[in-house]
Structure 1
Amino acid sequence: MIQDPVDSELRPVSREELYQLVWSMPVMRAAARLKVSNSYVARICAALDVPRPPRGWWTRKKFGQTLTRPPLPPPRPGRPLSWSRDAWGGSLSTYYKRRRVWQAPAGDLHPLVVLATEIFRAAKTEPTASFLVTRANNAIDVAASAETLRHALAFANTLFLALEARGHSVIVAARRRFIRPRIEIWDEPPVHCSEKAAPDLAPRWPTVAMLQDMPAGIAIVETCREAHVKYLGDGKFEPVPPKSRKGVRPVLGITWNDWQPRPAGRLKLVAYSPVHPAAWMREWQISTLRKHEREVEMILGWLEETAAQSFAAPPA
């Protein structure tokens, strides 16, 4: 248990310590110990997945009711194991926002995908092309709209688990000398838009799988298409129905029609050499089926064959 409020600022508070603290005194006293607000104690507990007393628990205990507290659950993959005031700053919201993005079957979760799920809960929509954007350092390389995000994360989970089942590690390569080349996301060459109109959705750090001694960059991206849109005001656009103006709402004030990139609803996996200069790149379309085992098997076969050839090739 935390013995001194000053101590909580100097070192991380573990999940076990936080659990003992919130179940040993009312939230106002616990907040004073941590030097945060009452509501922020609840956020810390949510982020660390620590249960806390429900409303009225301390009053009922004061009047002699026999109450039991729930046990501290084991830590979930990708969740923080401790909290400190200086270390967390504003990033705590990544873990306590409750909007569900995607959930795989219990016991079948890759930690990087669990963390990506938490990160994308706070992601914002890119205004021009409607893709979700996050600049978190530890986010995996997924670029998708809100409608296809669950599908993208489900495929990433299957792929990462299959890679590690074969002895290949998967990492977000922070601060390593790997590159992530620009990936083409147009479904078809644009006619009305510039080739550069599609946003560059590269993450801060590439996602890399290590196959023997060969690194392979991995990106899961949703393709985009051209869309004819009408400006509605306040930064918002609405699709213009083809060959007809019927169905487009009237607009008060200045308006215009434009062509913009929009998510096409189709995902692809891109594997590439993350070492400059990039020596190879390969793409696969991802089906809409929930089970991706056959697709992943084919992809892993190609990657392992490429790694074997690279390993066997004599040095230049």
Structure 2
Amino acid sequence: MRTLLKLSLISSAFLGLAGMHSSTLAQVDNFPTKPITQIVPFPPGGSTDISSRILAEALGKELKQTIVIENKSGASGTIGINQLIRSNADGHTMATLSAPALTAPYILPSVSYDPNKDFKAVGMFYITPIVVTVNPKYQSKITDLASLIEASKNSKDGLNYTTAGVGSTAHLTIETIKKDLGLKLTHIPFRGTAPAVTALLAGEVDFLYAEVAPVLGQIKAGSLKPIAIGTSERFALLPDVPTFKEQNITTETSLSWGGIVVPKDTPDDIVQKLSSSLKTVMENKDIQEKLSSAGLQPHFQDYAKFQQTIATDSGFWAKVIKENDLKQKD
């Protein structure tokens, strides 16, 4: 009798597990069941926004569902990322993660999330170089890094510069160079690259260090002049712009990147489906060309590799911030 009862209980347990498994499979097979919201934690016009809009249309077609872009800017991208963290973990809300939101917990005292624990990686989809530009209308004497350094040292108050925001790769790189060379530079942060470009065009700041994508049009039009690019070799879209190393600046620079993340409790099967769909989209030559022409280099990493990149880069920039005493005061 006891044996029969045990067998009955075991059988019921297996049936329960089988039911749960088939339910999970059905959930993944049917996903997505409604439009997906893609949070862009910066205003329209910057690299994160431009790349997200290129991706959303193609990824939506691959998933057979609409992807709606929602710009939620402010606080170095953390307002948008915090909205993602609070969202339902069913795969129908994702966000585009880039450097400022990744480094914010290490530089802004008010930010408490952990980039290695509070969301899951889906995949990286682009990298982009960062370029120093000036407005020749207001800074005609600054034509390269040597003249920028000279202007900084000779000016009583130094120079002011802008980036996509506090904690961006650009901001951290310039602050490191500032310390290494003893320059007089003041950071004027904005809520993303687009308003920073507007400030440069208006002559409100002396130079901008930002991703290529949002300034490429102004560079081609001649309204902005690029004087240095943060890559190991010259960039194909701006072949006449010398690198930092060519201009004897040896401070380590890095590329900016963008990728998709979802809330931490999103089921792994859904994360894998999103990652697989992203891979398919990134193999599309039309998407590659659209990203490339916008100044963005197509670059895919799956969910596992991107999670590793998040861990590596957050650790690297946390160290830079600590060593250069860049954490903001309360």
Question: What TM-score comes out, normalization by structure 2 length?
Answer: 0.21
Question: Which of the pair has more CA radius of gyration?
Answer: 1
- Bigger relative CO (Cα 8 Å, ≥ 6 apart): 2
What TM-score comes out, normalization by structure 1 length?
0.22
